[in-house]
């Protein structure tokens, strides 16, 4: 509305609306898994509690702090680009990417630790356990695994947007790509906010 000088057609509301619709499909994807989790937790309450003891609360908490902080840097990078502070925006996007990678590195150490202790899908040790524990670890690997895949995709998208910002495609006039990448990143954060208590905090 304010840019009469531009002949280019831009539909910010439409772009954001499309992104939100996509996010809803993501919510339903994880919603289905949350449904399965809640049903089996109700049926195998004791097993879930015992299996939950194997989780490392410290790594889970550290990863929560990392993702929350990365959401902060992402939100600040959008504020920065709106103000025209390109350099600061680029630095904040880079910080977001680094925090996302730190999350995945933690995940690597965490999973290696589980595998060393013999807890991985179809491991002889796990198959010898009760039904509920097998289900707990199955759900754990699928849900945190698909979440980690989303973190990886998010990191790739933000890296791509970072390059666009450096090239001057994403500017203080046209930042919808950065904003939509941010929406995706925050949703990944929201999903982790639920995964953390469901897997790490059943003591």
Partner 1 sequence: MDERGNHIVGTKTYVFVWTALLCLTGLTILAAQMKMGKWSMVANIAIASAKASLVLWFFMHLRQEKRLFKLMIFVPLITISIMIGLTFFDIWYR
What minimum distance in Å lies between the beta carbon of 128 and partner 1? 27
Q: Based on the shown chain and the rule CB under 8 A, indicate whether residue 46 belongs to the binding site for partner 1.
A: no
Are 30 and 169 a contacting pair, CB within 8 Å?
no
The backbone torsions φ and ψ at residue 122, rounded to the nearest 5 degrees and listed phi first, read 70, 10
Q: Based on the shown chain and the rule CB under 8 A, indicate whether residue 74 belongs to the binding site for partner 1.
A: yes
Q: Provide the 10 A C-beta neighbour count for residue 159.
A: 17
H or E element: which one contains 141? Answer: helix 131-167
Query: Cα 11–186–100 angle (5° rounding)?
Result: 120
- Which residue in the block uniquely carries the two structure tokens 């999973």? 111
What minimum distance in Å lies between the beta carbon of 122 and partner 1? 27
Q: Which stretch binds partner 1 (CB under 8 A): 79-87, 93-101, 103-111, 157-165?
A: 79-87
Q: Based on the shown chain and the rule CB under 8 A, indicate whether residue 47 belongs to the binding site for partner 1.
A: no
| b/e 4-15 (16+ beta carbons within 10 angstroms → b) | eeeeeeeeeeee
Binding mask 121-160 for partner 1 (x = CB under 8 A): ----------------------------------------
- Size of the residue set binding partner 1 (CB under 8 A): 48
Q: Based on the shown chain and the rule CB under 8 A, indicate whether residue 68 belongs to the binding site for partner 1.
A: yes
Are 176 and 10 a contacting pair, CB within 8 Å?
yes
Q: Based on the shown chain and the rule CB under 8 A, indicate whether residue 28 belongs to the binding site for partner 1.
A: yes
Q: Which stretch binds partner 1 (CB under 8 A): 94-102, 132-140, 143-151, 193-201?
A: 193-201
What minimum distance in Å lies between the beta carbon of 156 and partner 1? 20
What CA–CA distance (Å, rounded) separates 52 from 195?
12
Cα distance between the two ends of the chain: 55
Q: Which residues bind partner 1 (CB under 8 A)?
A: 1-2, 12-13, 16-17, 20, 24, 27-28, 31-32, 34-35, 38-39, 42-43, 57, 61, 64-65, 68-69, 71-72, 74-76, 79, 82-83, 176, 179, 182-183, 186-187, 189-190, 193-194, 196-198, 201-203
């Amino acid at each position: 509305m304010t840019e009469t000088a531009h002949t280019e057609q831009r539909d910010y509301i439409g772009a954001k609306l499309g992104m939100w619709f996509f996010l809803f499909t993501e919510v339903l994807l994880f919603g289905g898994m949350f449904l399965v989790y809640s049903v089996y937790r109700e049926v195998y309450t004791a097993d879930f509690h015992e299996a939950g003891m194997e989780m490392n609360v410290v790594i889970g908490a550290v990863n929560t702090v990392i993702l929350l902080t990365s959401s902060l840097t992402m939100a600040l990078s959008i504020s920065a680009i709106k103000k025209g502070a390109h350099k600061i925006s680029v630095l904040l996007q880079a910080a977001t990417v680094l925090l996302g990678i730190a999350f995945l590195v933690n995940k690597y150490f965490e999973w290696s630790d589980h595998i060393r202790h013999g807890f991985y899908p179809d491991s002889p040790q796990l198959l010898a356990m009760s039904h509920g524990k097998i289900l707990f670890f199955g759900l754990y690997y699928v849900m945190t695994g698909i979440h980690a895949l989303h973190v990886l995709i998010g990191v790739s998208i933000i890296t791509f947007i970072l390059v666009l910002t450096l090239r001057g495609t994403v500017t203080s006039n046209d930042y919808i790509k950065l904003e939509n990448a941010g929406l995706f990143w925050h949703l990944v954060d929201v999903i982790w906010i639920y995964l953390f208590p469901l897997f790490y905090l059943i003591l």
